[in-house]
Chains A and B, each alone.
Chain A
Amino acid sequence: MAITSIKNLKEFSTNNERLEGAHLLCPGCAHSMIVRELLNCTDDNLVIATNTGCLEVSTAVYPYTSWDTSWIHIGFENAATAAAGAEAMYKARKRKGTLKDPDAPVKFVAFGGDGSTYDIGFQWISGAIERGHDFTYICLDNENYANTGGQRSSSTPVGAHTSTAQAGRVSYGKKQKKKDIVAIMAAHGAPYVAQLAPNKWKIMAKGFQKALETEGPCFINTVSACTTEWKFNPKDTINIIDLATDSLMFPIYEIINGRELNILYRPKTVVPVEEYLAAQGRYKHLFKPENRHVIDAIQKDINEKWEYLQRREEAKV
């Protein structure tokens, strides 16, 4: 595989863009930061499938496409299967010798938001991973159905306000925990599963390259801060993601072959989660005295998860 140099940003910046501007994502959206980085991680040809969601409705609205690669969108739930179908066709045609350029290296990638990954497309991804297709699925996790105006998903964290898990006079927002998608996908025995964040560009690029280079199905959950629904100033996207990774709300780690867990980033100073929550409008109500217990519960959960991840890493099981 033709991976590109990620030694430093200067080298990385010599890559030629394959996602064009004048797409319709919100100013400051992290989705396109993540997608651009994936595209810049390799010089291979790409076949990209995308579930319905912000990325899809913003990059392919007739008569425009922002993609300089092969790209397909079918429905809300089936990008993983579209990529799998294309990958199967690639194998069949390669064997039969009907490809125009049989030696051209190609990678198959599917993108989806948390709505299509954690919820409506869950089964399709599980199926494609179980079948062992050689592709990488990347979830752009912004913890809500942003494309339809900010409804809860099973990725929305406890305490967040969404339009279908509202904070109100007698409610502190979402009551249920965020689904642990990384653990679920790792439990499939996928060769490479990771949770990555665009603020740590080099760790993310390394993870992307590892996934693209690994034969078989890989899954990566990426943190995609949503300026519109998390309610922060668009200029602060990277600042918010810094708080997410440094408060350990989004620990960055990989799981290899469903077993070996490696923590990829340890903050020098761990930030109290309160700072992360305070920076976003969706958690504003948690700072009322009667909701203080929710912040404490979130912090407790983070501490326990971090402890768990470290113990699993040490145990090397």
Chain B
Amino acid sequence: MKGVLATDRRGMRELGAEEMVGWDEVTQGVVLPSFDQAIGNAAFLKPEERPYSDFSSYTATVASWRVIRPVYNRDICIDCQNCWVWCPDASIISRDKQMLGIDYDHCKGCGVCVEVCPTNPKSLLMFAETETIEEALAKWPEKKKKEK
């Protein structure tokens, strides 16, 4: 997880906490460059390989929007990628067809990932923001019997 999330720009700021520069320093024409350097088509670079500019929302966090959050249980996951395709916040980290975890800087805690998770028991469950991952994993439910 660390490798794919750790850039020094990561989740740097709460929205609204950016530096309030003066009229002489705002960008011309309100244009926002996504990257600091010419990188070519971003489709060919993984997020951790991109030189995001301070203007990319990738560098910001909306973690404070959440009151509950999904916790991921690797032991049960089948890497189906349902959670990846339906996450509205690009917060399911998948690399090489494997689900690696949740991007808690960008996850808003909607719970869609839990709803679309097909395993039994689910490999993603919602827990209060105050609970640690370890506490959550310790409470994981058993496999449910099929109702007849």
- Are A and B direct contacts in the complex by CB distance below 8 Å? yes
Q: Which of A223-280 contact B (CB under 8 A)?
A: 227, 233-239
B60-68, B128-136, B137-145: which one contacts chain A? B60-68
B81 engages A12 (CB within 8 Å): yes
Q: Which of B47, B65, B94, B112 contacts A13 (CB 8 A)?
A: B94
Q: B76 — which chain A residues lie within 8 A by C-beta?
A: none
Q: Mark B70-113, 1 if CB is under 8 A from A, else 0.
A: 00000000011110111111110010110000010111111110
Q: A237 — which chain B residues lie within 8 A by C-beta?
A: 86, 88, 110, 112
What's the least CB distance linking B11 to chain A, in Å?
Answer: 8
Given A9-B85, A62-B30, A65-B34, A22 and B97 contact (CB-CB distance below 8 Å): no
A302 at the interface (CB under 8 A from B): no
Q: A43 — which chain B residues lie within 8 A by C-beta?
A: 41, 43-44
Chain A residues with a Cβ closer than 8 Å to the other chain, count: 51
Interface magnitude class on chain B: 35 or more
What's the least CB distance linking B115 to chain A, in Å?
Answer: 5
A30-38, A144-152, A281-289, A292-300: which one contacts chain B? A30-38
What's the least CB distance linking B55 to chain A, in Å?
Answer: 6
Q: Which of A32, A45, A227, A238 contacts B90 (CB 8 A)?
A: A32
A27 at the interface (CB under 8 A from B): yes
Given A65-B34, A234-B110, A238-B115, A17 and B90 contact (CB-CB distance below 8 Å): yes
A43 to B44 CA separation, bound complex (whole angstroms) = 7
B120 at the interface (CB under 8 A from A): no
B55 engages A25 (CB within 8 Å): no
B97 engages A27 (CB within 8 Å): no
A158 at the interface (CB under 8 A from B): no
With contacts defined as CB atoms under 8 Å apart, how many contacts are there between chain A and chain B in the complex?
A: 151
Q: A15 — which chain B residues lie within 8 A by C-beta?
A: 43
Q: B115 — which chain A residues lie within 8 A by C-beta?
A: 235-236, 238-239
Q: Which of A14, A28, A64, A198 contacts B111 (CB 8 A)?
A: A28
Q: B60 — which chain A residues lie within 8 A by C-beta?
A: 22, 64
A11 to B85 CA separation, bound complex (whole angstroms) = 11
A62 to B107 CA separation, bound complex (whole angstroms) = 21
B7 at the interface (CB under 8 A from A): no
A30 engages B88 (CB within 8 Å): yes
What's the least CB distance linking A73 to chain B, in Å?
Answer: 10
Given A22-B106, A27-B65, A238-B115, A63 and B42 contact (CB-CB distance below 8 Å): no
B62 engages A22 (CB within 8 Å): yes
A21 engages B57 (CB within 8 Å): yes
Nearest residue (CB) in B for A204 is B85
What's the least CB distance linking A25 to chain B, in Å?
Answer: 6
A206 at the interface (CB under 8 A from B): no
Given A11-B97, A16-B44, A60-B32, A28 and B112 contact (CB-CB distance below 8 Å): yes
Known: A27-B88, A65-B57, A234-B110. 12 other contacts (CB 8 A): A12-B81, A16-B42, A16-B43, A16-B46, A21-B57, A22-B61, A22-B105, A33-B86, A62-B26, A63-B27, A63-B55, A239-B115
B binding-site residues for A, Cβ under 8 Å: 15, 18, 26-27, 30, 32, 34-35, 41-47, 50, 54-62, 65, 79-82, 84-91, 94, 96-97, 103, 105-112, 114-116, 126
> Which 6 pairs of residues, A with B, have the shortest CB-CB distance?
A21-B106, A235-B111, A27-B110, A28-B110, A9-B81, A68-B42
